[in-house]
């Protein structure tokens, strides 16, 4: 990679952000198309986000991804908002032009492209979604778009109820209450990121009929149990890659091949 005065700058804003794999595959995408650009992580504390946001245009930065905990604030501060981002209530992709900042949400597209590898047909499918944070909003929006029947569980019941009113799903008090009904289970919580995290429900109740997706991109206890019980399962890496590929297309107009970004991440992970 050669950096010079014409190098365009892109990046990701989050807190924390050091763990992000986005720089790995976004830089590979720029290299694939011989675009003179670089993608870097910007670790921005919540209290400093608005200052950082205002500085993006002044610094000539062309586009950024937004990750936790800034997605809702990014939407609020943007000049132009895509209809999907507006409906979801958060932005994960910003394109910065002379006219202003354009906000998009590609998480929902990334989720759909990834989950359809597990279950191509989502219409009328009974789905259990775990969690009610920003990622859950994108997942719920995608599932409503596909006309799935969704049950939502969250530790904070009131938050789950509000999301159910907004996205037309059914609030449940315990995941176990619907395990016999649902075919797809999607974990959008951070539980499982650490091995010592408590289980969300009794994973022994999974059976081969279930398909399980965890948006965390590692082998979580939920996914280990799914594998042991003969379920089809998927971690969050494909969702990450597909949402990033959509962001790349918004910024550049190019469709980066899936194999290019996937191989770059696997190579990186194998080296660390």
Active site residues: 71
- The two structure tokens encoding residue 90: 């958060």
Report CA torsion sign: 159, 165, 167, 169: positive
Residue 241 parent element (H or E):
helix 237-252
74 near 103, Cβ under 8 Å? yes
Contact (CB, 8 A) for 115 and 107: no
Q: What is the rounded CA–CA span in Å between residue 251 and residue 259?
A: 20
261: how many CB neighbours lie within 10 A of its CB? 24
**Do 183 and 143 contact (CB within 8 A), yes or no?**
no
Q: By CB neighbour count within 10 A (0-12 exposed, 13-18 middle, 19+ buried), where does 267 fall? A: exposed
Residue 61 CB neighbour total at 10 angstroms: 18
Report the chain's C-alpha Rg in angstroms: 19
Cα gap 19→74, rounded to integer Å: 21
Specify the 3-state DSSP secondary structure of 127: strand
């Amino acid at each position: 990679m050669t950096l010079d005065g014409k190098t365009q700058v892109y990046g990701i804003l989050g807190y924390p952000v050091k763990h992000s794999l986005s720089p790995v595959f976004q830089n590979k995408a720029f290299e694939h198309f011989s675009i003179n650009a670089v993608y870097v992580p910007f670790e921005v504390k919540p209290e400093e986000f608005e200052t950082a946001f205002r500085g993006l245009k002044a610094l000539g930065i062309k586009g950024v991804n937004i990750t936790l905990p800034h997605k809702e604030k990014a939407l609020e501060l943007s000049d132009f908002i895509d209809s999907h981002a507006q409906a979801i209530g958060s932005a994960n992709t910003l394109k910065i032009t002379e006219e202003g900042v354009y906000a998009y949400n590609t998480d929902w597209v990334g989720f759909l492209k990834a989950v359809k590898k597990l279950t191509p047909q989502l219409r009328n499918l009974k789905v259990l979604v775990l969690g009610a944070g920003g990622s859950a909003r994108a997942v719920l929006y995608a599932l409503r778009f596909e006309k799935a029947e969704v049950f939502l569980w969250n530790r904070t019941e009131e938050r789950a109820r509000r999301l159910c009113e907004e996205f037309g799903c059914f609030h449940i008090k315990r995941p176990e209450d619907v395990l016999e009904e649902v075919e797809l289970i999607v974990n959008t919580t951070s539980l499982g990121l650490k091995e010592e995290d408590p289980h969300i429900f009794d994973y022994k109740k999974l059976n081969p009929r279930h398909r399980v997706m965890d948006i965390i991109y590692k082998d979580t206890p939920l996914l280990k149990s799914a594998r042991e019980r003969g379920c089809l399962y998927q971690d969050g890496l494909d969702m990450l890659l597909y949402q990033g590929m959509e962001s790349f297309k918004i910024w550049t107009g190019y469709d980066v091949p899936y194999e290019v970004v996937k191989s770059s991440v696997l190579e990186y992970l194998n080296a660390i």
